Amino acid sequence: MESAIPKLLQCPRARARRVPDDYTPPYPAWCARHRQSVKQVVMAYFGVQSKGPDPQGFLSWIADEFRREGGPGHWDRARYSDEAGYDTVISIAYWDDPRTFDAWMDRPGFREWWESDARPSESLGYFREIIRPRIERFETLFSTPDKPEGVAVLAGAMSGELQEHAYWGGARDRIPLSQTDALEPAGRPMRRLADGRRIVVQPHGNLCLIRSGQDWTETTGDERRMYLSDMEPVLREGMNYLRDQGLPIGCYANRYMRIVDEQGRETEKSFGMSYFRGLSELERWAESHPTHVAIFGTFMRIVQQLNFQLKLRLYHEVTVAAADEQSFEYINCHDQTGMLRAAT
Amino acid sequence: MESAIPKLLQCPRARARRVPDDYTPPYPAWCARHRQSVKQVVMAYFGVQSKGPDPQGFLSWIADEFRREGGPGHWDRARYSDEAGYDTVISIAYWDDPRTFDAWMDRPGFREWWESDARPSESLGYFREIIRPRIERFETLFSTPDKPEGVAVLAGAMSGELQEHAYWGGARDRIPLSQTDALEPAGRPMRRLADGRRIVVQPHGNLCLIRSGQDWTETTGDERRMYLSDMEPVLREGMNYLRDQGLPIGCYANRYMRIVDEQGRETEKSFGMSYFRGLSELERWAESHPTHVAIFGTFMRIVQQLNFQLKLRLYHEVTVAAADEQSFEYINCHDQTGMLRAAT
């Protein structure tokens, strides 16, 4: 068993973990291990929203862009209908070298498209939400070691079995910076800077982003039924709560998304992506909201019923981003899109 | 809102709380406030076990003893059928001055009865489990401020609304000593010292005792139905699990008890009392076992459905006792009684 915090990033703790040194989790879990040379990653969410018009032009274009020199080491795409009824497709791309990402973004064709004020179609909205955490500011968790998702695909390697999981507060204990830092929100509340139909959101420090996913492709029989009829409806209820009523408890935005292939066909993978004011707000929701507590309880029951032999794959990535690691930009988007809902 | 840790016991933290300074719990809770002169309390569990024979003689005798000079400031009585099928009645008495308790225990009539090797009836078993924590080693929690139970009855006063509750790890954060100490079990494993049918258990440091109770006397309608049909069966399942399968996860003993009056009639109050190897083991069970997670999730749902206007009263007291604050003695008891199950 090993710590989720890589040896290179371990330091004398000013803040204790929640579990004693002899803690043994009741079931295994793993995390991504990046190469030592990786100091910072980029998680880029490129979204298109529409009520009616076909976003395929944008989707094909951004996919082509991803394939160019300096493109992401991994990307995928997901879809959902947002709180205002807009169909939203997000192409999510990961880099493990910010300079490569910056160079890729800065190519004239890409930059000009993005900066243009003559939009190809005024009926589509576009946004980009870019989080580029240094390696000590995020953590990943997987219920199986053989199928990375999200930023972990870049890592190329998984850890051995982790110690810091299966208890509330595990995510914090897995983030290297939590050894010395409370990870509390810092700086003034988020503000909008508008230029016509383009709005930039000025972030605050230690915003928290979670992408928390499930893959039920390989489930069969009882397990599949348990997921689809016991877990998914409760998960959906929790996701809807965060989307519609999350703001007072510090959830700036929540998207419960289905992963689609390049042809737009739904896969049997979904995830919630949520921005929280800080890690504490995410922790409080996760550990006290009835829907999430129910999800966790159901999961704990199912893993024990199935003797820890799950075909359902679960994973997440949790980031606490410094202010200079965040960039949010919305073009032609409705007023409640993403971070716009929370920024004043 | 105030800290559960009384001002007099607050000190610079070497160990951070789990919540930030601006944390606000989603619903109120209160704790007992002892007089400043109180430095240590006594929680004394006097038990009688039988399979058939009537324990009334002992029960009347100990009740009379409680009423003598120096007797407890508060006591109650509870009943359950133990894992071996023995009817067990425990008279639980509280003092807030250990010297008064010691003097009371040391009166010749009491001491001689207890020390006698000519037992009044060989068919009854007797035990006493005495925990006398210093004030920095326990905490209490109440869902209403107007009806203390257990050690809190001695306190005579309740706090204002507390900050440290409604999150996992709150109990630890409410124990004053947790400001500077990990509260981990210390010393060699528990051992039995036998003298014929009398067995003393030699404890280890930082044993954890929880008494966690519910009072549904005043519930009506939906709330009563929810408690009796949704919560109680799940609570019972969790209590049975701890009783029968708790040892591997660090639960030395668990008793799910119904409070009875002096005539032995059941009230609408119950509690679980459990000894755990340490606070961490209690925390892990509480936050990960499906039954307890379900109880917590159901509670969170019900309090929200009822808009925090519960008639169900909940409370607990959690103690982390030093080795010299514990005393366990069993006479004529079966081999799995209380701490005997866990001591070698």
| pLDDT, tens only, A192-251 | 999 888 999 999 999 999 999 999 999 999 899 989 998 899 899 999 999 999 999 999
Can you tell me the mean pLDDT for B143-162?
Answer: 96
Structure tokens at B44: 């004394």
Total residue length of chain A? 344
- Interface probe, candidates B283, B284, B291, chain A, greatest A C-beta count within 10 A: B284
Structure tokens at A219: 């489930």
Backbone angles phi, psi at A78, to 5 degrees: -145, 160
- A300–chain B Cβ distance below 8 A for any pair: yes
Spatial separation of the C-alpha atoms in residues B135 and B120, rounded to whole Å: 37
> H or E element: which one contains B62?
helix B56-66
Can you tell me the mean pLDDT for B175-193?
Answer: 96
Strand, helix or coil for residue B247: helix
Judge: A300–B289 Cβ closer than 8 Å, yes or no: yes
Spatial separation of the C-alpha atoms in residues B141 and B4, rounded to whole Å: 9
Residue B329 C-alpha, separation from nearest chain A C-alpha, in angstroms? 30
Structure tokens at B317: 């007291």
pLDDT of B52 > 80? The answer is yes
Spatial separation of the C-alpha atoms in residues A233 and A150, rounded to whole Å: 24
- B168–chain A Cβ distance below 8 A for any pair: yes
Residue B255 C-alpha, separation from nearest chain A C-alpha, in angstroms? 23
Read off the amino acid at residue B344. T
Are B18 and A18 in contact, with CB atoms under 8 Å apart? yes
Spatial separation of the C-alpha atoms in residues B228 and B230, rounded to whole Å: 6
pLDDT at residue A337 in the model: 96
- A280–chain B Cβ distance below 8 A for any pair: yes
pLDDT at residue B22 in the model: 93
Summarize chain B as % helix, strand, coil (round to 5): 30, 30, 40
pLDDT at residue B91 in the model: 98
Mean pLDDT of chain B: 94
pLDDT of B230 > 90? The answer is no
pLDDT at residue B26 in the model: 87
pLDDT at residue A120 in the model: 61
Please choose, from the candidates B184, B9, B121, the residue with its C-alpha nearest in 3D space to the C-alpha of residue A16.
B184
The partner residue sitting opposite A288, judged by closest CB among B166, B283, B289, is B166
Q: Considering only alpha carbons, which residue of chain B is nearest residue A184?
A: B20
Which stretches of chain A score pLDDT less than 50? none
Question: Residue B123: pLDDT band by 50, 70, 90 thresholds?
Answer: confident
Can you tell me the mean pLDDT for B238-261?
Answer: 95
- A323–chain B Cβ distance below 8 A for any pair: no
Q: Considering only alpha carbons, which residue of chain B is nearest residue A250?
A: B23
Strand, helix or coil for residue B216: coil
Are B208 and B278 in contact, with CB atoms under 8 Å apart? yes
Please choose, from the candidates B341, B329, B336, B330, the residue with its C-alpha nearest in 3D space to the C-alpha of residue B277.
B341
Are B312 and B179 in contact, with CB atoms under 8 Å apart? no
Q: What are the pLDDT digits (tens) for A241-269?
A: 999 999 999 999 999 999 999 899 999 99
Which CATH number is B42-131 given? 3.30.70.100
Backbone angles phi, psi at A168, to 5 degrees: -70, 130
| A contacts of B297 (beta carbons < 8 Å) | 290, 293-294, 297
Q: Considering only alpha carbons, which residue of chain B is nearest residue A25?
A: B284
Q: Considering only alpha carbons, which residue of chain A is nearest residue B185?
A: A20
Q: Could you tell me how far CA A98 lies from the centroid of its own chain?
A: 18
Choice among A57-71, A225-239, B284-298, B320-334 with the minimum mean pLDDT = B284-298
- B293–chain A Cβ distance below 8 A for any pair: yes
Identify the residue whose tokens are 């925090």: B308
Judge: A168–B287 Cβ closer than 8 Å, yes or no: yes
- B19–chain A Cβ distance below 8 A for any pair: yes
Kindly give the pairing relationship between strand A251-260 and strand A266-276.
antiparallel
Beta bridge partners of A271: A213, A257
Total residue length of chain B? 344
- What does the CA dihedral A223, A224, A228, A229 come to, rounded to 10 degrees? -50
Are A271 and A211 in contact, with CB atoms under 8 Å apart? yes
CA angle in degrees (0–180, nearest 5) for B117-B123-B128: 60
pLDDT at residue A304 in the model: 78
Residue B217 C-alpha, separation from nearest chain A C-alpha, in angstroms? 25
Judge: A169–B18 Cβ closer than 8 Å, yes or no: yes
Question: Residue B316: pLDDT band by 50, 70, 90 thresholds?
Answer: very high
Residue A287 C-alpha, separation from nearest chain B C-alpha, in angstroms? 7
SS3 per residue for chain A: CECCCCHHHCCCCCCCCCCCCCCCCCCCCECEECCCCCCECEEEEEEEEECCCCCHHHHHHHHHHHCCCCCCCEEEEEEEECCCCCEEEEEEEEECCHHHHHHHHCCHHHHHHHHCCCCCCCCCEEEEEEECCEHHHEEEEECCCCCCCCCHHHHCEECCCECCCCCCCHHHHHCHHHHCCCCCCECCCCEEEEECCEEEEECCECEEEEEEEEECCCCCHHHHHHHHHHHHHHHHHHHHHHHHHCHHHCEEEEEEEEEECCCCCEEEEEEEEEEECCHHHHHHHHHHCHHHHHHHHHHHHHHHHCCCCCCCEEEEEEEEECHHHEEEEEECCCCCCHHHHCCC
pLDDT at residue B120 in the model: 61
pLDDT at residue B156 in the model: 85
- B280–chain A Cβ distance below 8 A for any pair: yes
pLDDT at residue A303 in the model: 79
| B contacts of A282 (beta carbons < 8 Å) | none
pLDDT at residue A127 in the model: 97
pLDDT of B173 > 90? The answer is yes
- A23–chain B Cβ distance below 8 A for any pair: yes
Residue B277 C-alpha, separation from nearest chain A C-alpha, in angstroms? 13
Judge: A297–B290 Cβ closer than 8 Å, yes or no: yes
pLDDT at residue A288 in the model: 86
| Domain spans, chain B | 27-35+135-149+161-341, 42-131
CA–CA distance from A313 to each of A147, A167, A216 (Å)? Answer: 8, 18, 7
Spatial separation of the C-alpha atoms in residues A325 and A40, rounded to whole Å: 10
| A contacts of B294 (beta carbons < 8 Å) | 294, 297
The DSSP line for B127-191 is: EEEEE--BGGGEEEEESSSS---TTHHHH-EE-SSBSS-SSTTHHHHHSGGGGT-----BSSPPE
Spatial separation of the C-alpha atoms in residues B249 and B122, rounded to whole Å: 34
Structure tokens at B260: 């009875």
- Interface probe, candidates B179, B241, B300, B302, chain A, greatest A C-beta count within 10 A: B300
The sheet carrying B326-331 orders its strands as B138-142, B313-321, B207-215, B266-276, B251-260, B74-81, B87-95, B42-50, B125-131, B326-331, B198-202, B191-195
